[in-house]
Amino acid sequence: MQTAFQHLLNTLATQQKTWLVTGVAGFIGSNLAEFLLAHNQRVVGLDNFSTGYQKNLDQIALAVGSQAYQNFTFIEGDIRHLDTCQQACKQVDIVLHQAALGSVPRSIADPITSNASNVTGFLNLLTAAKDAGIKRFVYASSSSVYGDSEELPKVEKRTGNLLSPYAVMKYTNELYASVFNKTYGIETIGLRYFNVFGRRQDPNGAYAAVIPKWVGSLLNNEDITINGDGETSRDFCYIDNVIQMNLLAGMSDNAKAFGEAFNVAVGGQTTLNELYALINQELSQHVADFVGKSAIYGAFRAGDIRHSNANITKAQTLLGYAPTQTIAQGMALAIAWYVANTTF
Protein backbone atom coordinates (compact mmCIF):
# COMPACT_ATOMS: atom_id res chain seq x y z
CA MET A 1 0.00 0.00 0.00
CA GLN A 2 1.33 3.42 -0.93
CA THR A 3 2.08 5.94 1.77
CA ALA A 4 0.60 9.43 1.48
CA PHE A 5 4.05 10.73 0.56
CA GLN A 6 4.58 8.15 -2.20
CA HIS A 7 1.20 9.11 -3.63
CA LEU A 8 2.21 12.78 -3.46
CA LEU A 9 5.43 12.10 -5.37
CA ASN A 10 3.42 10.45 -8.14
CA THR A 11 1.27 13.58 -8.30
CA LEU A 12 4.32 15.85 -8.55
CA ALA A 13 5.52 13.88 -11.57
CA THR A 14 2.49 15.03 -13.55
CA GLN A 15 1.53 18.34 -11.87
CA GLN A 16 4.00 21.20 -11.98
CA LYS A 17 3.36 23.93 -9.43
CA THR A 18 5.33 27.00 -8.38
CA TRP A 19 6.58 26.95 -4.81
CA LEU A 20 8.05 29.92 -2.94
CA VAL A 21 10.78 28.76 -0.55
CA THR A 22 11.99 31.51 1.79
CA GLY A 23 15.36 31.05 3.46
CA VAL A 24 16.28 29.06 0.36
CA ALA A 25 20.06 29.44 0.88
CA GLY A 26 19.80 28.00 4.38
CA PHE A 27 19.86 24.46 5.71
CA ILE A 28 16.19 23.46 5.46
CA GLY A 29 15.28 25.81 2.60
CA SER A 30 18.03 24.55 0.29
CA ASN A 31 17.04 20.94 0.92
CA LEU A 32 13.40 21.73 0.14
CA ALA A 33 14.30 23.57 -3.07
CA GLU A 34 16.57 20.75 -4.24
CA PHE A 35 13.91 18.12 -3.64
CA LEU A 36 11.20 20.11 -5.42
CA LEU A 37 13.39 20.87 -8.44
CA ALA A 38 14.38 17.21 -8.66
CA HIS A 39 10.66 16.34 -8.78
CA ASN A 40 9.56 18.47 -11.74
CA GLN A 41 8.53 21.58 -9.75
CA ARG A 42 9.17 25.28 -10.24
CA VAL A 43 10.78 27.06 -7.29
CA VAL A 44 11.09 30.74 -6.43
CA GLY A 45 13.74 31.14 -3.74
CA LEU A 46 14.11 34.15 -1.43
CA ASP A 47 17.07 34.80 0.86
CA ASN A 48 19.13 37.71 2.19
CA PHE A 49 22.19 35.54 3.06
CA SER A 50 22.09 36.57 6.73
CA THR A 51 22.42 32.92 7.74
CA GLY A 52 22.32 31.19 4.33
CA TYR A 53 25.12 30.62 1.82
CA GLN A 54 25.63 30.89 -1.93
CA LYS A 55 27.43 27.52 -1.76
CA ASN A 56 24.12 25.88 -0.82
CA LEU A 57 22.52 27.22 -4.00
CA ASP A 58 25.55 26.03 -5.98
CA GLN A 59 25.10 22.55 -4.51
CA ILE A 60 21.44 22.54 -5.57
CA ALA A 61 22.50 23.32 -9.15
CA LEU A 62 25.00 20.47 -9.14
CA ALA A 63 22.55 18.03 -7.57
CA VAL A 64 19.58 18.58 -9.89
CA GLY A 65 21.37 19.37 -13.16
CA SER A 66 21.10 22.32 -15.52
CA GLN A 67 17.72 21.44 -17.02
CA ALA A 68 15.88 21.17 -13.68
CA TYR A 69 17.76 24.21 -12.34
CA GLN A 70 16.18 26.33 -15.10
CA ASN A 71 12.96 26.01 -13.07
CA PHE A 72 14.61 27.92 -10.21
CA THR A 73 14.29 31.70 -9.81
CA PHE A 74 16.30 33.35 -7.05
CA ILE A 75 15.47 36.67 -5.40
CA GLU A 76 18.03 38.17 -3.07
CA GLY A 77 15.95 40.10 -0.58
CA ASP A 78 14.71 40.45 2.98
CA ILE A 79 11.31 39.46 4.36
CA ARG A 80 11.46 42.54 6.59
CA HIS A 81 10.56 44.52 3.43
CA LEU A 82 6.93 44.15 2.35
CA ASP A 83 7.66 45.04 -1.28
CA THR A 84 10.19 42.19 -1.46
CA CYS A 85 7.58 39.76 -0.14
CA GLN A 86 5.06 41.05 -2.69
CA GLN A 87 7.54 40.51 -5.51
CA ALA A 88 8.33 36.98 -4.33
CA CYS A 89 4.65 35.97 -4.12
CA LYS A 90 3.83 36.76 -7.77
CA GLN A 91 2.53 33.73 -9.72
CA VAL A 92 3.18 31.39 -6.76
CA ASP A 93 0.91 28.45 -5.86
CA ILE A 94 2.33 27.34 -2.49
CA VAL A 95 4.52 29.06 0.12
CA LEU A 96 7.03 27.14 2.25
CA HIS A 97 8.22 29.81 4.69
CA GLN A 98 11.51 28.82 6.32
CA ALA A 99 13.27 32.20 6.60
CA ALA A 100 13.95 33.24 10.20
CA LEU A 101 16.66 34.20 12.61
CA GLY A 102 16.79 30.94 14.51
CA SER A 103 18.26 30.16 17.92
CA VAL A 104 17.02 30.71 21.46
CA PRO A 105 20.36 32.26 22.60
CA ARG A 106 20.36 34.71 19.68
CA SER A 107 16.85 35.88 20.61
CA ILE A 108 17.90 36.37 24.23
CA ALA A 109 20.98 38.36 23.19
CA ASP A 110 19.11 40.53 20.67
CA PRO A 111 15.31 40.17 20.75
CA ILE A 112 14.64 43.23 18.57
CA THR A 113 16.59 42.02 15.54
CA SER A 114 15.14 38.53 15.86
CA ASN A 115 11.61 39.91 16.16
CA ALA A 116 12.04 42.01 13.00
CA SER A 117 12.59 38.87 10.94
CA ASN A 118 10.57 36.34 12.90
CA VAL A 119 7.41 38.39 13.51
CA THR A 120 7.40 41.47 11.23
CA GLY A 121 8.91 39.47 8.37
CA PHE A 122 6.44 36.65 8.93
CA LEU A 123 3.48 39.04 8.88
CA ASN A 124 4.82 40.75 5.75
CA LEU A 125 5.02 37.45 3.88
CA LEU A 126 1.68 36.16 5.16
CA THR A 127 -0.02 39.40 4.08
CA ALA A 128 1.73 39.39 0.68
CA ALA A 129 0.64 35.79 0.11
CA LYS A 130 -2.94 36.61 1.05
CA ASP A 131 -2.99 39.66 -1.22
CA ALA A 132 -1.53 37.64 -4.11
CA GLY A 133 -4.32 35.10 -3.81
CA ILE A 134 -2.05 32.26 -2.68
CA LYS A 135 -4.20 29.64 -0.95
CA ARG A 136 -1.56 27.52 0.83
CA PHE A 137 0.94 28.92 3.32
CA VAL A 138 3.17 26.43 5.17
CA TYR A 139 5.56 27.84 7.74
CA ALA A 140 8.25 26.78 10.19
CA SER A 141 7.28 26.97 13.83
CA SER A 142 9.30 25.43 16.66
CA SER A 143 9.14 22.99 19.56
CA SER A 144 10.21 25.94 21.73
CA VAL A 145 6.50 26.89 21.95
CA TYR A 146 6.07 24.09 24.52
CA GLY A 147 8.02 26.16 27.04
CA ASP A 148 8.09 24.77 30.57
CA SER A 149 5.43 22.10 29.91
CA GLU A 150 6.67 18.89 31.53
CA GLU A 151 4.21 16.66 29.68
CA LEU A 152 5.89 14.00 27.52
CA PRO A 153 5.40 13.39 24.73
CA LYS A 154 4.39 16.89 23.65
CA VAL A 155 0.86 17.17 22.24
CA GLU A 156 0.03 20.15 20.02
CA LYS A 157 -2.99 21.44 21.95
CA ARG A 158 -1.14 21.74 25.28
CA THR A 159 1.78 24.16 25.69
CA GLY A 160 3.44 25.65 28.77
CA ASN A 161 4.85 29.02 29.77
CA LEU A 162 7.24 30.32 27.11
CA LEU A 163 10.92 30.49 28.10
CA SER A 164 12.56 32.71 25.46
CA PRO A 165 11.86 35.57 23.06
CA TYR A 166 12.29 33.09 20.20
CA ALA A 167 9.46 30.95 21.58
CA VAL A 168 7.24 34.04 21.84
CA MET A 169 7.97 34.88 18.20
CA LYS A 170 7.17 31.40 16.92
CA TYR A 171 3.98 31.21 18.96
CA THR A 172 3.01 34.62 17.59
CA ASN A 173 3.44 33.18 14.08
CA GLU A 174 0.98 30.43 14.95
CA LEU A 175 -1.54 32.94 16.31
CA TYR A 176 -1.29 35.10 13.18
CA ALA A 177 -1.59 32.09 10.89
CA SER A 178 -4.68 30.80 12.69
CA VAL A 179 -6.36 34.22 12.54
CA PHE A 180 -5.50 34.67 8.84
CA ASN A 181 -7.04 31.25 8.17
CA LYS A 182 -10.26 32.18 9.98
CA THR A 183 -10.43 35.78 8.70
CA TYR A 184 -9.20 35.53 5.11
CA GLY A 185 -9.49 31.81 4.32
CA ILE A 186 -5.79 31.32 3.53
CA GLU A 187 -4.88 27.69 4.20
CA THR A 188 -2.09 28.00 6.79
CA ILE A 189 -0.23 25.02 8.28
CA GLY A 190 2.48 25.41 10.93
CA LEU A 191 5.29 22.91 11.44
CA ARG A 192 6.78 22.68 14.92
CA TYR A 193 10.29 21.46 14.17
CA PHE A 194 12.02 19.33 16.78
CA ASN A 195 15.83 19.57 16.48
CA VAL A 196 16.26 19.05 12.76
CA PHE A 197 19.66 17.85 11.49
CA GLY A 198 21.29 16.68 8.28
CA ARG A 199 23.20 17.71 5.18
CA ARG A 200 24.09 21.42 4.80
CA GLN A 201 23.45 22.28 8.44
CA ASP A 202 25.99 24.98 9.30
CA PRO A 203 28.78 23.85 11.68
CA ASN A 204 30.15 27.37 12.13
CA GLY A 205 29.03 30.52 13.88
CA ALA A 206 28.01 31.42 17.40
CA TYR A 207 24.58 29.80 17.06
CA ALA A 208 25.45 26.61 15.21
CA ALA A 209 23.22 23.63 15.97
CA VAL A 210 24.69 21.05 18.30
CA ILE A 211 25.21 18.15 15.85
CA PRO A 212 27.28 19.89 13.13
CA LYS A 213 29.11 21.91 15.79
CA TRP A 214 30.17 18.78 17.66
CA VAL A 215 31.10 16.98 14.44
CA GLY A 216 33.29 19.88 13.34
CA SER A 217 34.96 20.17 16.73
CA LEU A 218 35.66 16.44 16.97
CA LEU A 219 37.18 16.37 13.49
CA ASN A 220 39.42 19.27 14.55
CA ASN A 221 40.29 17.50 17.81
CA GLU A 222 38.76 20.35 19.83
CA ASP A 223 37.18 19.98 23.25
CA ILE A 224 33.41 19.54 23.41
CA THR A 225 31.36 21.20 26.15
CA ILE A 226 27.94 19.76 26.94
CA ASN A 227 25.52 22.18 28.58
CA GLY A 228 24.42 20.88 31.96
CA ASP A 229 24.67 17.20 32.96
CA GLY A 230 24.07 15.76 29.51
CA GLU A 231 20.74 14.25 30.48
CA THR A 232 18.77 16.96 28.69
CA SER A 233 16.88 15.14 25.93
CA ARG A 234 15.64 16.01 22.47
CA ASP A 235 13.62 14.47 19.64
CA PHE A 236 16.18 14.69 16.82
CA CYS A 237 14.64 14.69 13.35
CA TYR A 238 16.51 14.01 10.11
CA ILE A 239 16.05 16.50 7.26
CA ASP A 240 14.27 14.05 4.92
CA ASN A 241 11.41 13.76 7.44
CA VAL A 242 11.09 17.56 7.39
CA ILE A 243 10.99 17.62 3.58
CA GLN A 244 8.19 15.05 3.68
CA MET A 245 6.13 17.12 6.14
CA ASN A 246 6.53 20.35 4.17
CA LEU A 247 5.36 18.70 0.96
CA LEU A 248 2.48 16.88 2.63
CA ALA A 249 1.38 20.16 4.21
CA GLY A 250 1.81 21.97 0.90
CA MET A 251 -0.39 19.55 -1.02
CA SER A 252 -2.90 18.28 1.56
CA ASP A 253 -6.60 18.63 0.77
CA ASN A 254 -7.63 17.87 4.37
CA ALA A 255 -9.44 21.01 5.56
CA LYS A 256 -9.03 19.85 9.19
CA ALA A 257 -5.30 20.63 8.86
CA PHE A 258 -5.77 24.28 7.90
CA GLY A 259 -5.09 26.83 10.63
CA GLU A 260 -3.36 24.13 12.68
CA ALA A 261 0.21 23.46 13.85
CA PHE A 262 1.88 20.05 13.76
CA ASN A 263 4.82 18.42 15.50
CA VAL A 264 7.59 17.47 13.06
CA ALA A 265 9.73 14.83 14.69
CA VAL A 266 10.29 11.10 14.90
CA GLY A 267 8.72 10.57 18.32
CA GLY A 268 12.00 9.55 19.94
CA GLN A 269 13.96 10.82 22.92
CA THR A 270 17.78 11.06 22.95
CA THR A 271 19.87 12.60 25.70
CA LEU A 272 22.86 14.81 24.87
CA ASN A 273 25.11 12.12 26.35
CA GLU A 274 23.57 9.50 24.05
CA LEU A 275 23.86 11.88 21.11
CA TYR A 276 27.53 12.51 21.83
CA ALA A 277 28.22 8.76 21.98
CA LEU A 278 26.36 8.21 18.69
CA ILE A 279 28.33 10.94 16.91
CA ASN A 280 31.64 9.48 18.14
CA GLN A 281 30.53 6.02 17.00
CA GLU A 282 29.56 7.23 13.50
CA LEU A 283 32.74 9.26 13.06
CA SER A 284 34.80 6.19 13.93
CA GLN A 285 32.98 4.38 11.09
CA HIS A 286 33.64 7.11 8.52
CA VAL A 287 37.04 8.58 9.45
CA ALA A 288 40.23 6.53 9.48
CA ASP A 289 42.22 6.82 12.72
CA PHE A 290 39.45 8.80 14.42
CA VAL A 291 39.90 8.86 18.17
CA GLY A 292 36.91 9.85 20.29
CA LYS A 293 37.30 12.06 23.33
CA SER A 294 35.44 12.68 26.57
CA ALA A 295 33.18 15.71 26.81
CA ILE A 296 33.46 18.57 29.29
CA TYR A 297 30.33 19.56 31.21
CA GLY A 298 29.36 23.21 31.59
CA ALA A 299 26.44 25.26 32.88
CA PHE A 300 22.86 24.75 31.73
CA ARG A 301 21.89 27.13 28.92
CA ALA A 302 19.37 29.89 29.63
CA GLY A 303 15.96 29.43 28.02
CA ASP A 304 16.47 25.75 27.27
CA ILE A 305 13.71 23.19 27.63
CA ARG A 306 14.86 20.23 29.75
CA HIS A 307 13.16 17.44 27.83
CA SER A 308 11.57 17.44 24.39
CA ASN A 309 9.78 14.49 22.84
CA ALA A 310 6.97 14.76 20.31
CA ASN A 311 3.69 13.00 19.87
CA ILE A 312 3.32 12.79 16.07
CA THR A 313 -0.17 11.27 15.97
CA LYS A 314 -1.80 14.48 14.68
CA ALA A 315 0.60 14.69 11.72
CA GLN A 316 0.13 11.01 10.96
CA THR A 317 -3.66 11.24 11.15
CA LEU A 318 -4.36 14.51 9.32
CA LEU A 319 -1.43 14.68 6.87
CA GLY A 320 -0.36 11.06 6.42
CA TYR A 321 3.13 11.69 7.81
CA ALA A 322 5.33 8.59 8.10
CA PRO A 323 8.94 9.28 9.19
CA THR A 324 11.52 7.44 7.09
CA GLN A 325 14.63 7.84 9.28
CA THR A 326 15.27 7.29 12.98
CA ILE A 327 18.01 9.34 14.65
CA ALA A 328 20.50 6.49 14.13
CA GLN A 329 19.66 6.13 10.43
CA GLY A 330 19.70 9.88 9.93
CA MET A 331 23.00 10.28 11.80
CA ALA A 332 24.72 7.72 9.59
CA LEU A 333 23.62 9.68 6.51
CA ALA A 334 24.46 13.07 8.03
CA ILE A 335 27.95 12.12 9.21
CA ALA A 336 28.75 10.55 5.84
CA TRP A 337 27.70 13.83 4.16
CA TYR A 338 29.70 16.01 6.54
CA VAL A 339 32.86 13.97 6.14
CA ALA A 340 32.56 14.02 2.35
CA ASN A 341 31.47 17.64 1.85
CA THR A 342 32.76 19.83 4.64
CA THR A 343 36.15 21.34 5.25
CA PHE A 344 36.59 21.92 8.94
Q: Which residues have a catalytic role annotated?
A: 166
For the chain, helix (H) and strand (E) counts, in that order, are 13, 13
Rg (CA), the chain: 19
Checking 155-164 for CB contacts under 8 A at 24+ apart, the result is: 155/311, 155/314, 156/192, 156/260, 156/261, 156/262, 156/263, 156/311, 156/314, 163/104, 163/303, 163/304, 163/305, 164/104, 164/107, 164/108, 164/302, 164/303
Q: Establish whether the linkage from the previous residue to 212 is cis, with ω within 30° of 0.
A: no
Whole-angstrom Cα distance, residue 106 to residue 122? 18
47 phi/psi in degrees, rounded to 5: -160, 150
Helix (H, G, I), strand (E, B) or coil at 19: strand
Among residues 305, 138, 276, which one has the least CA distance to residue 215? 276
Give CA–CA dist 344/337, Å, rounded: 13
b/e per residue, 236-259, with b = 16+ CB within 10 A? bbbbbbbbbbbbbbbbbeeeebbb
Answer for the pair 116, 75: CB distance below 8 angstroms, yes or no: no
* Cα–Cα distance, 223 to 221 (Å, whole number): 7
Beta bridge partners, 192, equal 141, 263
Of 160, 154, 167, 127, the C-alpha closest to 312 is 154
